Structure 1
Amino acid sequence: MKKKSIFLESIIVVVVGFYGCSLTFPTMTLDEFIDLYFPGYGGKSWQVLGSPGFSAGGTAYTSLYVDNGTPYVAYQDWVNGTKATVMKWNGSSWQPVGSPGFSAGEAAYISLYVDNGTPYVAYQDVANGYKATVMKWNGSSWQPVGSPGFSAGEAAYISLYVDNGTPYVAYQDWVNGTKATVMKWNGSSWQPVGSPGFSAGEAYYISLYVDNGTPYVAYQDWANGYKATVMKWNGSSWQPVGSPGFSAGEAYYISLYVDNGTPYVAYQDVANGYKATVMKWNGSSWQVVGSPGFSAGEAAYISLYVDNGTPYVAYQDVANGNKATVMRFTGTEWTNVGNPGFSAGAANFISLYVDNGTPYVAYQDVANGNKATVMVYK
């Protein structure tokens, strides 16, 4: 890499000198510069972590988390009665965390969070009336956090976040008109954060982020033309961040990330050909990050991560055979991370995590029997 670095640094010097030192380059590391302007030169590529399709059987609702360099994946396990299973990468292979299929019954809308080495999983618990359940790995077994099926009624579009050891769950609340509800574990029981069903109307594609104790929720807002809305808990009530329904048109596959107090939202943008769009709250209004509808074609199963101020988006890329694609915002434009459509076949239930500049993607791998696959860009 030493010779490559010298070579590329020489190119930069020559280019800047040619333009009279008038060029302004996006802020990035040398490795990022190589990836952007000399793809493939730095030797990075998308690689399968372990075996492709490492799960015992088919999967759905894949959810990825990387904790201090260790990837974990939760999913609905078709070989084990469509129950929940969590797998962990041990450095050489994927191993189950506890028993595969540990949930009491079928698990859907699975959401994984790993808090300082402790995995938590939230899901729609079919064995408990389709209500929300959260389970935690205690080092030897999976145990419920509070009562299984703690939500008042059926729950869908479940999203989990653990903030300094405190689990929060957002979901579509069927007892409250399929509106959004957030609940928090207080150490002894689950309690609602504000009023249950706080959204103005029905809420779909719910995504939760808790930023230093402040919960934010993004969702498709049926009271506002199926557009994207973000709500924030101010300590006493839920308030919209900017205008409700701020997207140009209908928004699907919504993914939320809050970076040092700045909310970002990625979604499938119906107003822009069902392509991917990312918007950012600038303190007074929502603004598009780069161009709206920046993906080559339609995008689904969108997953957003902001790494040290750099937004990344993973999605199912219809323009590339429904395979997985990851793009990164350089500060001026969206560029592909490696090759677009890098998965072997169609990728569903895509989940993205960026660990100190290294992107990981988990998904249901159609080319490998709908099993789980994880790929890493390195």
Structure 2
Amino acid sequence: MTGRVADVAADALTSPDRFRAEVVAACRPVVLRGAVRDWPVRAASEQGELAAYLARLDAARPAEVFVGAPAIAGRYTYSDDLSGFNFERRTMRFGEALAEIVATAGVAEAPTMYVGSLSTEGYLPGFAAENGLAFLPAVQPRIWLGHRSSVACHYDTSDNIACVVAGTRRFTLYPPEAIGDLYVGPIDHTMAGQPVALAVGSAPGDPRYPRFEAIRDTALEVDLEPGDALYIPKLWWHQVEATGALNVLVNYWWDASSGGPDQPHSAMMLAMVAIAERPEGERAAWRAFFDHYVFRPDGHPLAHLPAERHGILGAGNSGRIRAMVMRLLRGV
């Protein structure tokens, strides 16, 4: 049986500090009911004026559009042998794509179309000023629009707030620790940047994904209406289904825990090169060191020493560590 995601009333989130404390801190998905119900773009959609609203802001830039044959029913994914994809990519100006998506919405014999991850700052200047989140004031939003669709289960390396403007969205979520049971696809041959969980969406009992059966029904499932939003912590797996004939979503990506420019995903990629192919016993040794110095289940690794003897592991010394790593990578 699928689980439920906790709800938080959006009107209780009056500041960035409250948002971090009441939503972000737990590192769990949270539904923000009514978070964007007062957005002008949502009102325009409700009044049948969505296309006119977006066209007023259109910077007329070219965008990449996913176009799928009617037979795929908007399920954008790999070809059977994983060498290609079951859709084509076209480049057209945003206004042209918008007009075609609106004109063919709900037309059964028409190809499905999907435009994703467009910076509103670049494509729709002024959008963020008219449609914003008081508890996340400094992050520029992106826009996604298209027909009925299913975007393969994937993760993001940033925290995410997904806001439904038009249509409806269903999110199916699995926690980061499920990664070994999801049968993840290639990490450098992807549809839109991130690797996907191949098992999610498969038929029950699919012999290609035996481990997935044990967790298939443990997913968290969320249905969002226009005006609702969902906070998705970084590294949480999520499949996104747009279930209306015409769907618009606006999202915010940011690092809610950032203490500097360093990216955990980059560190993991380098660790894969440095450690993954070493002998099992050595990998176990490095795992112990990573636990001690990085994951710190027992607290700060030098807690037994006076603070003035913590050296580069002391507070505020991330720059010294970064400089040391750069010298080591350059071999100097």
* Same structural fold, with TM-score higher than 0.5 when normalized by the shorter chain: no
Name the TM-score, length of structure 2 as normaliser.
0.25
Specify the structure having the higher radius of gyration (Cα): 2
**Structure richer in helix, relative to its length:** 2
